[in-house]
Structure formats: structure tokens, C-alpha cells
Amino acid sequence: MVFCDKYFTFVAKIQSNFDFDTLLVQNLYNIFQYFYMGQRLKLIRKALGMTQEQLAQRLGVGKTALSMVETGKANLSNRNKNILVQEFNISPEWLETQQGEMFNSDPALVKAFQLKTDNSLPMQSVPLYSIEGTAGLVPLFADKQSIEPVNFIHIPNLPKCDGAIYVVGDSMYPLLKSGDIVLYKQLSSLEDVFWGDMYLLSIDINGEEYITVKYLQKSDIEGYVRLVSQNPHHADKDVPMSKIRAIALVKASIRMNSIR
């Protein structure tokens, strides 16, 4: 990476001292950027003990496409970067700069926990999303790999989490307040619900998406569920199950103003 940084500095000096086409300089920059990203991807694959075919399958691309990235002929997509960070615990900083440690935890531990997602991980990088930037929970849950997080939360000793978002509103106060962060595990169906636990929900109200965090309880009305708030000033509400468009189990919360 030292050589790479020196090259970029060299290119910048050329551009400032000579009347070179900006597009040409940018193309040269991209060539070296692709090359070094490919080298880092190859190092990651070898550290994981995987073949090109195995890693390509995990990334959802063809072996040829992966080979092109490793040889610097193509760039690594943001979607695939997110998979490396989320599924393999690759440090985002190392992935972009090769600075620091490659893994957020020992590679052997990463592999060992891949099939034990219900157990606590020694360390994981949880993507933090902006709901405004993703246009709601539904598109986020449907295609999270193609959505770029605003940041990552590095946190130890928690069950596998799919993502994190900021809380809006005070219905769960004092347990949660507006601006806190909840970490969640996406569910595919209401059949997976444990009644009484806290959930992140997307509810369809007159064609508009309403995103909330609530306790989920059984309703006395057939085909409905009961949304229960922590805040006593917010009344419980029964809603049709058919109106719930997306659901995730809240695994943890972070009180933002507690960190100084």
C-alpha cells in the first residue's frame, strides 16, 4: 500500500505540473485502485482457505467475475464489500486501505461461527443503515446487500445481527429514546415470532409505511397482533397481520448519549 500511495501522489504531481487530460489521469488511478483491491481480495480468500469458486458462490458472482476482480480487471462492487464485512468479519478499514488487522476477530473463529449464527460472535461488524436513504424497511430487507450502510458498528459477544437503524419516536421510552440505535435480526415470517419480545416493524397504514419498535403480543382479534409500547402514554394497538410488511427481532440497543 505504500507503493500505491506513492503512485497516487506521483499521478497528482504529473497532473499539476503538466497539461494532462483529467480523464486519462483518472483512468490511471482506477487501474491501480482495481489492482490493489484485487490483491486484497486474494489475500482475504487465501486467509479464509477458500477457492475462487467457493468465494464466488458466497458473494453471489461467477468464478470468472471473481477472477477479474483479483487480477485488477474489474472493481469489487459495494454489494460484495458489504458481504465481506458482514459475513466474514473483514475490517472495513483494511478492505479499503490495508491498514490495521484484516479480520475483526481471528479467521478460525469467523469460519467456526458461520454455521452457528444463533450463538454469540466474538466480534462482528453490524451495518448501520439510514431509513431515509433506503426508502424504508421493505426495500432494505429485500436487497440489503446492494444498499450501502452509513457506517458499521463493531461490537463483541452478540448473536448474529443483520443490521442496525436509529430509533425515531418515544413509544419505547425510557427503554429506548429517539436517536438510540437498535440492532436487529430479520425474520421471514410472523410464524417465527416469540410473543412478548421486542420487534422492529414496518406497517402499512393507508398506503404509507409506518416504522416502529414495539413489543409484540397476541391479540384477542383473529388475524391481528397487539403492538405494546414501553411508554405508558402510548396505548396498545391491535393491527391486522396482513398490514405488517417487514419484521425483525431486536437483538440489542445502544444508548447514544451514554458514550462520552
Q: Domain segments of the chain: what residues?
A: 1-114, 117-260
The whole-angstrom separation of Cα 127 and Cα 89 is 11
Residue 123 DSSP SS3 = coil
Q: What angle do CA 124, 121, 76 make, to 5 degrees?
A: 35
Tens digit of pLDDT for each residue in 216-226? Answer: 999 999 999 99
Residue 64 CB burial class (10 angstroms; 0-12, 13-18, ≥19): exposed
The mean pLDDT of 174-192, rounded to a whole number, is: 89
Does the pLDDT value for residue 116 go beyond 80? no
* DSSP structural state of residue 250: E
- Write down the residue that cell numbers 448501520 correspond to: 128
Provide the pLDDT for residue 110. 44
Find out whether 20 and 12 touch, Cβ atoms under 8 Å.
no
pTM over 0.85: no
Comparing 258 with 163, the larger pLDDT belongs to 163
Sorting pLDDT into bands at 50, 70 and 90, what band is 52? very high
Provide the pLDDT for residue 26. 63
Comparing 157 with 152, the larger pLDDT belongs to 152
Give alpha helix (H) positions in 89-240.
92-97, 107-113, 131-134, 137-142
Find out whether 70 and 80 touch, Cβ atoms under 8 Å.
no
Residue 187's contacts (CB-CB under 8 Å, 6 or more residues apart) are 193, 199, 247, 248, 249
Sorting pLDDT into bands at 50, 70 and 90, what band is 258? very low
Provide the pLDDT for residue 249. 92
The mean pLDDT of 79-106, rounded to a whole number, is: 82
The whole-angstrom separation of Cα 205 and Cα 244 is 9
Provide the pLDDT for residue 8. 47
Least confident of 4-8, 183-187, 189-193: 4-8
The whole-angstrom separation of Cα 146 and Cα 122 is 26
CATH topology of domain 117-260: Umud Fragment, subunit A (2.10.109)
Does the pLDDT value for residue 86 go beyond 60? yes
Provide the pLDDT for residue 7. 46
C-alpha cell at 136: 424504508
pLDDT averaged over every residue in the chain: 81
φ, ψ of residue 160 in degrees (nearest 5):
-60, 125
Least confident of 20-34, 37-51, 138-152: 20-34
The mean pLDDT of 38-66, rounded to a whole number, is: 90
Do 1-114 and 117-260 come out as alike in CATH topology?
A: no
Sorting pLDDT into bands at 50, 70 and 90, what band is 17? low
Does the pLDDT value for residue 5 go beyond 70? no
CA distances from 166 to 82, 127, 149, 151, 201 (A): 19, 12, 12, 12, 13
The fraction of the chain above a pLDDT of 90, given in percent, is 31
Residue 41 CA to its chain's centroid (Å)? 19
Tell me: cis bond preceding 122? Omega within 30 of 0 counts. Answer: no
Residue 39 CB burial class (10 angstroms; 0-12, 13-18, ≥19): middle
Provide the pLDDT for residue 112. 32
Does the pLDDT value for residue 168 go beyond 50? yes
Provide the pLDDT for residue 29. 66
CATH topology of domain 1-114: 434 Repressor (Amino-terminal Domain) (1.10.260)
The whole-angstrom separation of Cα 247 and Cα 230 is 18
